[in-house]
Amino acid sequence: MIFLGACSHQKAESPVIAQVGAARLTLDDLKAIEADSGSTDYLNDQIRSYVYRWVDRQVLYQAALDKKLDLRPDIRRELDRLRQDLIIQYFLDQNIDDHPQITEEEIQQYYVQHRDDFVRDFPEYRYFYLICKDRSTANRLKRQLRKGKSFAEIVKENYPEKVFNQFWDSGTVQIDQVLPPLQRMVRTLKPGSLYGPVLSNNAAILVQLVERYDSHTVRSLEQVRSEIEQRLKESRYREQYQKLLVSLKNRYKINYFFDRLQTGPKDTADQAGS
């Protein structure tokens, strides 16, 4: 009775969902994978797709084991390196804030101190555009734009039946990044000018130049804000990394033996025999 009672308290094995040889994928394995998403629908297509991929990987993996590839010295060294890299990355994630808060004051100060980094080497342009179904649609939408409707409103009302581009703002780009059919006229348009339709690939394109920026001018703070913020975050990360590394080096005994790099095969044999 004591034996039976102990058995009744043992955890039941998780149901096996797929098996390749001795390798098993269980329901608990799938639950662990889905834990972050909070999903409890283990019959959806995404899960089934994962199971199919797991079987494919297991088939390839076991075939590689049959060839004893896991015993090759070069592969064992690479596996050890990958294992170390993975553990190190988890350690760094736990000990370094990879999303540091950057203040507005820091961004502005960086911009003032590094203005030369943001000088344009080439002219840049920003334009709005609509890739329309046909010429008549483009002309109709052009009239709406002239009456005061915004590009955003027109795209929202007509995408994707009559306007094929969901994103209508080019951002600040150089001429080689401008849509090819628009490159010639973008060079000549004045800011605010609405042009088109330009026929291209069974579509009609409307374009409005928002701004032209000459070479050797400095990009505004708003244009480079995200770049500056990213630079500051990377710099903050490097600072935290170096600080952590120094503190850890003080905890371990470290020795270097660079003189041994001079020891050739003959010298090594002589030392072994002495």
pTM above 0.85, yes or no: no
Cβ atoms within 10 Å of 177's Cβ, excluding its own: 12
Query: Is pLDDT at 51 greater than 80 in this prediction?
Result: yes
Q: Closest Cα partner for 14 from 24, 22, 6?
A: 24
d(CA 67, CA 136): 66
Query: d(Cα 119, Cα 219) in Å, to the nearest integer?
Result: 6
How many angstroms separate the Cα of 214 from the Cα of each of 40, 111, 120, 221? 56, 20, 8, 16
Question: Mean per-residue pLDDT for 21-25?
Answer: 94
Give the residue carrying structure tokens 């000018």. 193
Q: Are strands 124-132 and 16-20 parallel, antiparallel or unpaired?
A: unpaired
pLDDT at 95: 95
Which pLDDT tens digit goes with each residue over 183-236? 999 999 999 999 999 999 899 999 999 999 999 999 999 999 999 999 999 999
How many helices (H) and strands (E) are present in the chain, helices listed first?
Answer: 10, 6
> Containing H/E element for 128?
strand 124-132
More confident residue, 47 or 53: 53
Pair of tokens at residue 55: 């079987």
pLDDT in tens, 101-156: 999 999 999 999 999 999 999 999 999 999 999 999 999 999 999 999 999 999 99
Domains of the chain, residue spans: 2-68, 72-119+231-274, 121-213
Q: What angle do CA 25, 31, 37 make, to 5 degrees?
A: 135
* Distance of alpha carbon 272 from alpha carbon 274, whole angstroms: 6
**pLDDT for the residue 262:** 85
d(CA 216, CA 20): 63
| Structure confidence at residue 147 (pLDDT) | 96
The CATH number fitting domain 121-213, selected from 3.40.50.970, 3.30.980.10, 3.10.50.40, 3.30.499.10: 3.10.50.40
Residue 97, pLDDT above cutoff 60: yes
Supply the pLDDT for residue 3: 39
194-200 and 23-26 beta bridge pairing = unpaired
Q: Average pLDDT over the chain, rounded to whole?
A: 90
C-alpha to C-alpha distance for 192 and 207, rounded to whole angstroms: 10
